[in-house]
Structure 1
Amino acid sequence: MKIVVATHNEGKLPEIRNIIEAELGQAAQHIELVSAGSMNLPDPVETGVTFEENALLKARDVARRTGLPALADDSGLIVDVLGAAPGILSARWSGVHGDDEANIDLLLAQIADIPDNKRGARFCCDAALVVPQDCREQRDDGSVPQAQEVARLGEMKGTIIRQRRGDNGFGYDPIFVPDNQPGRRNANGEKLTSAEMTAEEKNAISHRHKAFVALAPEIKELIG
């Protein structure tokens, strides 16, 4: 079964595929993941005010355009002392979408006076699956179930530090120290930021990983 992932970032596909293979085992061989970008689909305007709304919005758009089951996710950073912020505005917190350095500079300035023990934060991700009605299996009585829509949340809790550390990852990774550590420290004996972790170490504890693991039972049900 072909499932379209609502992204133009081809790097997401191997990560999602690895999660599905780990959770579904042999059943995963019946799934072919393709990206919306590879099908030349446009990016929908994200008008939702929550991660879940935006994830479902993106998955619905792809499912409507292709008639195929669609996966999507939306994620961001929530800093405790800022309430729900930056939240869905994480990628454009400084006013320019995707300017990681400016976003980090602004966030650090906003919480500069907050003591170290009050700088808790968490990355959140909602992963969504939308299955069009035409893809739903017919019931024994001949009826066809309505289109399926489901979203699952994953979180990675941690702390915001005061100075950048590490060259890996993207976004706020250089200033975020996850609570769940991989069992090693950096050269100075400090806990690792997400940007000091390898891709494998980060993916194993990430909010996106947890969200798609939680969504795996619905994906398994889809392929029967």
Structure 2
Amino acid sequence: MTTKQTHHQQKMVIASNNQGKLAELQDLFNQHELGFQLIPQAQLDIEDAIEDGLSFVENAIIKARHASRISGLPAIADDSGLCVPALGNAPGIYSARYAGVEDKKTRDAANNAKLIEALAPIRAQQPDTKIIGQFVCVLVMVSHADDPLPIIAQGIWQGEILPTPLGENGFGYDPLFWVPTLEKASAQLSKDEKSEISHRGIASRELIAKIKQAL
């Protein structure tokens, strides 16, 4: 990976099986024509890593090293979630498993329902107060499993948390995330609108810029 030639021949594992994340990241990488052949870890029968870090950065590094070690390839990993300061920045790194539901078809709805329930007492006490939330995305790239200098990028997208879901697009907490500048929920945005301003869009562009610098 020290020259553009080797870079263009390089395969890379994406250490995620989340279809929404994969689609967004694949689109963003393709736009910049970096020449990597991105391979979802599921295609290589790589199981999810045990995410026992205490931060988005730690978990992203754990996932990237895990995928790289098993595949023998460079790896990119994403760790992201929603932080609500009024809840002590919960659900945070536990965003995907906030409600404890394993079934991926019903997990998003359960997580959203739990967030609505957790914020209900605050809304009851302060009905006119806007509840701030921020989506956080950390992207990590390692060139090999023991890479001592992983490339790290972070994106933060601030908005407000809605009391009820809006919109049919996106995934995760998108239906509860209100974007004041567009006067829409994240789940009402098109894929292009979202990638332009989202936490993952911000982190992806930063990561791509850092990768280009490293070439």
Normalising by the smaller structure, the TM-score range is 0.7 to 0.9
**Who is 2:27 aligned against?**
18
1:145-190 CA-partner distances (Å, limit 9, x unpaired): x643132110111001111111111221111112442xxxxxxxxx
Report if the CA contact (8 A) 2:134-2:158 is conserved. yes
Which of the two has higher C-alpha Rg? 1
TM alignment of 1:1-224, pairs within 5 A: 1-9=10-18, 12-22=21-31, 24=32, 28=34, 30-97=35-102, 98=104, 99-112=107-120, 113-114=122-123, 115-132=127-144, 147-181=148-182, 191-222=183-214, 224=215
Report if the CA contact (8 A) 2:44-2:71 is conserved. no
Aligned CA distance change for structure 1 residues 131 and 179 (closer, same or farther; 3 Å)? farther
The number of aligned residues is: 199
Percent identity between the two aligned chains: 39
Instruction: Pick which of 53-62 and 93-102 moved more.
Output: 93-102
| Gap regions ≥5 residues in structure 1 | 135-145, 182-190
CA–CA distance in structure 1, aligned partners of residues 68 and 171 of structure 2: 28
Q: Given the two structures, how large is their TM-score scaled by the length of structure 1?
A: 0.80
| Gap regions ≥5 residues in structure 2 | 1-9
Report if the CA contact (8 A) 2:20-2:170 is conserved. no
**Who is 1:137 aligned against?**
none
CA–CA distance in structure 2, aligned partners of residues 124 and 117 of structure 1: 22
The amino acid that maps onto 1:174 is: P
The amino acid that maps onto 2:171 is: F
